[in-house]
Chain A
């Protein structure tokens, strides 16, 4: 293995810049004649807007312009699009009520943007925003997920019962039959709590219009600048795509929340031409809580049918998913395509049916958040499997083993074909690392200290590497899901790689450079990764769904192959040999079976100084593009084991051990992979133990809109993680990789909740399992 090649623990190239304060985030960028925007946001969850009086605000010092929803509507601008069309089981398309970029006649959640104030300074913009007076008639708010479809109020007239769609997936009749003839049916009602994404860098944008070229530049904290540009230009503002450059510079975390096209940056772009000056906006933390798309928020009943041996025969899942006040960019796909297709888990359950009712409520829009649908699916499957083990008096590891899929490829009854995996191997490794066999002794010892000890498993699977475009299209995607890459070899043999993937914490600048350096046999410092700028990168679908390496990396891999293929032709010419006799290894082109060779850098130089060059047959230059469209999803999977101690006097849970054994396929940089797993586990544990958005059920106010009230996991909430991998290489991408960005957040909540309910001896405790909830469960049990 090369010291900085594939498989090496190369320290992250980008960290020096971040740790020394030299990152360039959107808010760091100020343009000549910069102005600042502040949004007037609705203080009400649901209100009719009778009028907006901005006259006195407009007269305040420094105010450049104030725009309302009426101004936007008058210029003929429509609303934000939803990128995925879901059909109800009766065949009707989902309800897609307009999502105005500034509310026109109604505000639909606390934080809904009603007007924008643009001023010379941020303070002036904020002061004037406070002075804008909006005449509201407050309406009753719809908040609760489970009862939204029966609420008296309607969030949108177009969906009087607040139902966006009722989607069915799988074979309902087969499942009913399995349930009717089962030896035992385990059943569970669970809630997947709503989360705020909490990127450390809040959303930000800076939009500028250039009159001389009649074009726009948008700096925006975003995970997929080309998608942002496409959606904003083609679907909202009608700006020709080639007249807009979107730059997503350093981005301080996204977790999904920066995939989406939001109203704020769209308003800024629109207004930048009107005011003829660049406009900058950066959310403050409370705005982030209120206006970032939230995650999860499902209410589910699940039933699992079994035979006498605990073999699963059918599963029925009924879910209500809260999509919030408007359909955010991928909101419709998260509780459907990214959720129900994963309900087979790692098991051979032959019949599965899921029915998902998506409801509108007067809350922030809900969309993809780290894992997006797959954590929800895993939570359903792994909680009911643990429940089934308890019902059947089987060891939780044993019931899993009895039901594991062991032959591949395996077509699930919910539409996916798993290419490869080794679920028993991951389980066994995790059981060993966690010393599962020693648990009873540890439990007994804890009892002597008055502590209740519990252990919980979660054998998760996810579908990553989104996605075969044709499959996604057939499922309703309104976009392709390939990735693009360009490998530009400079005359000196140094390499700049342009990727459509976007790094906002993942470490692409290191991992991708490792791949390229390894393949080209050159030092990693000779490779630079560029991303996040539609002006530089040919195209891209961006980073989410753990797709970057599997899809973006594969595109780069293909482009490098093209570089090598062309290099061979140049080398053949220089070495006076046939193309087919040239081999490339360790950075050197060589005539097979001889010691005649020419190094990579010389070939590069020859490509750009083509004096001795086959100009009649070959173009000069060494610069190759590739697009990679995957043929299948990738299927990272593994087993997480969590061990907890509960203090019965207070209900406080302490995680005493957490083991994660993951199969991510081949590993390029184990250190980065471990970091991704640690971060994902922290977020999954955060969901299970600490986090949760709470809306007041009457007023619809977000009660958890600061860090005084929304509990983020801190280091001392977490144990030292034991992480390990087991590798079965992905069969259908050239790197054999599967993706690792979301697994931690996907697998861990179920492991933790299985452990807590095991310790306490109850069927369920709602997440987050606060001390009081656990204490109450203990009271109920006694």
Chain B
């Protein structure tokens, strides 16, 4: 890892300015993904813009029928928050299942979804709840946010400020952990609310996706059995060292059914 310049921006605008025009600059949130990538030589950033210098980016607020979570809110704070536990307990469960205690005490919501690791947990909640990603420039619907492997709709210099989650009628998240990394080998988030039934799957493909077959089954019959009966194709799912696409395809309905049970 080479020497780097750490910048402490005074405002969002300042942070955005430091990033624009500098291809080797990156926003630093909890550093739990970024610094690891730099240590492995996978990211050669020379300048880090410390978003922790912007205190307004962290915090959890209830806003009508939504929970708005600041981008710099740590996983541990989401997991322990009374409002989250009361209104969207599945989200607290999800945040509490990320990594280990150390990671949860440093890693952030914004960093997680900006990074868009295909096996990360938060994307399942963002898509599974139909949340809205707020940035310094606009609002982005969940379904439009994750665009591919480690890719999002974020433009160069665009900063996530918060994610606004609608409070569902029911929601559940079940994560099947990869034994080595403890990221999701497959994770399934199910919800039922004003926007209908949503089933988001992480860990199984290049990016989080909605499992239409399971959604259709659950829309007709919100039950664990209905979810479990769905047969999914392994096409377009990941096969890697840890699991084949076939196994992942098998796990999705199994986990969806457990998520329905967890949703109560």
**0 or 1 for each of A441-467: is its CB under 8 Å from B? (1 = yes):** 000000000000000000000000000
Q: What's the minimum C-beta distance from A163 to chain B, rounded to whole angstroms?
A: 29
CA separation between A717 and B250, bound complex, in Å? 23
Chain B residues with Cβ below 8 Å from A711 are 178-180
Q: Which of B55-63, B66-74, B239-247 contacts A (4 or more CB under 8 A)?
A: B239-247
Asked if A650 CB lies within 8 Å of chain B CBs, one says yes
Tell me how many residues of A have a C-beta within 8 Å of chain B. 22
Docked Cα-Cα span, A648 to B250, in Å, equals 12
A380 to B251: give the CA distance in the assembly, Å: 33
Q: Which residues of chain A are within 8 angstroms of B178 by Cβ–Cβ distance?
A: 711
- On whether the beta carbons of B181 and A708 are closer than 8 Å, the reply is yes
Cα–Cα distance between A717 and B182 once the two chains are bound (Å): 12
**A403 CA to B146 CA in the complex, in Å?**
63
Given contacts A694-B241, A703-B241, A775-B247, contact A709 B181 (CB under 8 A): yes
Q: Is the CB of A708 within 8 A of B180?
A: yes
The verdict on A90 contacting chain B, using a C-beta distance below 8 Å, is no
Looking at chain A's contact residues, the main secondary structure is loop
- Interchain CB contact under 8 A, A775 and B180: no
- Chain A residues proximal to chain B, CB less than 8 Å: 123, 127, 649-650, 652, 689-690, 694, 703-704, 707-712, 717, 770-772, 775-776
Bound-state CA distance A649–B241 (Å) is: 21
B126: Cβ under 8 A from any A Cβ: no
- Show the binding face of B for A, using Cβ within 8 Å: 2, 176, 178-181, 183, 241-244, 247, 250-251, 254
* B41 to A, closest residue via Cβ: A130
Residues A649 and B254 in contact, CB atoms below 8 Å apart: yes
> Bound complex: CA of A717 vs CA of B241, how far in Å?
20
Docked Cα-Cα span, A689 to B180, in Å, equals 11
Known: A704-B241, A709-B241, A772-B244. A650 touches B251 (CB 8 A): yes
- Could you tell me the distance in whole angstroms from the C-beta of A671 to the nearest C-beta in chain B? 28
Q: List 25 A-B contacts (CB under 8 A).
A: A127-B2, A649-B254, A650-B176, A650-B251, A652-B176, A689-B179, A694-B241, A703-B241, A704-B180, A707-B180, A708-B180, A708-B183, A709-B181, A709-B241, A710-B180, A711-B179, A711-B180, A712-B180, A717-B179, A770-B243, A772-B243, A772-B244, A772-B247, A775-B250, A776-B247
Q: Shortest distance in angstroms between B174's beta carbon and chain A's nearest beta carbon? A: 10
B254 — which chain A residues lie within 8 A by C-beta? 649-650
Bound Cα distance from A709 to B241, whole angstroms: 8
Bound Cα distance from A710 to B183, whole angstroms: 13
- Residue in B176, B250, B254 with the greatest tally of chain A CB atoms within 10 Å: B250
Complex Cα–Cα for A494 and B97 (A): 53
Complex Cα gap A632–B153 (Å): 71
Kindly list chain B residues whose C-beta atoms are within 8 Å of the C-beta of A694.
241
CA distance A710 to B250 in the complex (A): 24
A414 to B258, CA, bound (A): 53
Partner of A709, one of B180, B243, B251: B180
CB-defined contacts of A649 to chain B, threshold 8 Å:
254
Q: How far is the CB of B148 from chain A (nearest CB, A)?
A: 20
Contacts of B247 in A (CB 8 A): 771-772, 775-776
Which residue of B is nearest A130, CB measured? B41
CB B150 to nearest CB in A, in angstroms, measures: 15
Residues of A within 8 A of B2 (CB): 123, 127
The number of residue pairs between A and B whose CB atoms lie closer than 8 Å in the complex comes to: 40
- How long is the Cα–Cα vector from A103 to B140 in the complex, in angstroms? 55
Given the complex of chains A and B, what is the CA–CA distance between A153 and B250 in angstroms? 39
Q: Which residues of B contact A712 (CB under 8 A)?
A: 180
- Chain B residues with Cβ below 8 Å from A704 are 180, 241
Chain A residues in 8 Å Cβ range of B243 = 770, 772
Among A650, A703, A770, the residue within 8 A (CB) of B179 is A770
Residue on A nearest B251 in the bound complex, by CB: A650
Measured between beta carbons, the chain A residues less than 8 angstroms from B244 are 772
Bound: A709/B2 CA distance, A: 25
Q: In the complex, what distance in Å separates the CA atom of A81 from the CA atom of B169?
A: 70
Give 7 nearest A-B pairs by CB, closest first: A711-B180, A711-B179, A772-B247, A708-B181, A649-B254, A690-B179, A772-B243
Chain A's nearest CB lies how many Å from the CB of B43? 16
Nearest neighbor of A773 in chain B, beta-carbon distance: B247
CB-CB < 8 A to A775: which residues of B?
247, 250
Task: State how many angstroms separate the Cβ of A582 from the closest Cβ of chain B.
Answer: 61
Q: Which residues of A contact B250 (CB under 8 A)?
A: 775
Q: Which residues of B contact A776 (CB under 8 A)?
A: 247
A775, B249: Cα distance in complex, Å: 13
Report how far A771 CA is from B242 CA in the complex, Å.
Answer: 10
Give the residues in chain B near A772, CB-CB below 8 Å: 243-244, 247
B229 vs chain A, min Cβ distance (A): 13
- Which residue on B lies nearest to A713, using beta carbons? B179
**Residue of chain B at shortest CB distance from A126:** B1
Task: Tell me the smallest distance from the CB of B44 to a CB of chain A, in Å.
Answer: 12
Interface centre among A652, A694, A770 (most CB of B within 10 A): A770
**Min CB gap A50→B, angstroms:** 25
CA distance A21 to B254 in the complex (A): 46
Min C-beta distance of A693 to chain B, whole Å:
11
With a cutoff of 8 Å between Cβ atoms, the chain B residues found around residue A771 in the complex are 176, 247
Instruction: Tell me the smallest distance from the CB of B33 to a CB of chain A, in Å.
Output: 12
* Residues of B with C-beta under 8 A to A707: 180-181
Q: Which residues of the partner chain A approach B176 to less than 8 Å between Cβ atoms?
A: 650, 652, 771
Closest partner residue, chain B, to A775 (CB atom): B247
CB neighbours (8 Å) of B241 from chain A are 694, 703-704, 709
CB distance from A432 to the nearest CB of B (A): 33
- Given A123-B2, A703-B241, A707-B180, 6 other A-B residues pairs in contact with their CB atoms under 8 A: A690-B180, A694-B241, A707-B181, A712-B180, A717-B179, A770-B179
Residues on A with beta carbons closer than 8 Å to the beta carbon of B181: 707-709
A708 to B176, CA, bound (A): 15
Report the minimum CB–CB distance from A434 to chain B (whole Å): 25
Question: CA separation between A403 and B246, bound complex, in Å?
Answer: 44
Which A residues touch B179, using CB under 8 A?
Answer: 689-690, 711, 717, 770
A127 contacts across to B, CB distance below 8 A: 2
Taking the closest CB of chain A, its distance from the CB of B201, in whole angstroms, is 15
| Inter-chain contacts of A650 with B (CB < 8 A) | 176, 251, 254
Look across to chain A and name the residue whose beta carbon is closest to the beta carbon of B241.
Answer: A703
Query: With the chains together, A710 CA to B180 CA distance in Å?
Result: 6
Give A709 to B40 CA distance when docked, in angstroms. Answer: 14
* Cα-based distance from A712 to B243 in the complex (angstroms): 17
Question: A776 vs B246: C-alpha distance in the bound complex, in angstroms?
Answer: 10
- Shortest Cβ distance from A649 into B: residue: B254
Minimum CB–CB distance from B2 to chain A (whole Å) comes to 8
**In the assembly, what is the distance between CA of A709 and CA of B180, in Å?**
5
Measured in the bound complex, the distance between the Cα atoms of B2 and A689 in whole Å is 38
CB closest chain-A residue, reference B244: A772
Q: How far is the CB of B121 from chain A (nearest CB, A)?
A: 15
Q: Which residue of A lies closest to B228 (CB)?
A: A649
**With A and B bound together, what is the CA distance between A717 and B177 in angstroms?**
12
What is the minimal beta-carbon distance from A703 to any residue of chain B, in angstroms? Answer: 5
Least Cβ distance of A653 to chain B in Å?
A: 11
Central interface residue in A710, A772, A776, by most chain B CB within 10 Å = A772
Inter-chain CA distance A770–B243, complex, in Å, is 9
Please measure, in the bound complex, the distance between the C-alpha atom of A650 and the C-alpha atom of B178, giving whole angstroms. Answer: 12
Closest Cβ–Cβ distance, residue A780 to chain B (whole Å): 13
- Bound together, the chains give a CA A772 to CA B249 distance in angstroms of 12
- Least CB distance from A82 to B in Å reads 32
The minimal Cβ–Cβ distance linking A583 to chain B, given in whole angstroms, is 58
Q: How far is the CB of A194 from chain B (nearest CB, A)?
A: 14
> What is the chain A residue whose CB lies nearest that of B36?
A708
CB distance from A648 to the nearest CB of B (A): 10
Collect the chain B residues with CB atoms within 8 Å of residue A689's CB: 179
B115 vs chain A, min Cβ distance (A): 14
> In the complex, what distance in Å separates the CA atom of A776 from the CA atom of B250?
11
CA distance A650 to B183 in the complex (A): 17
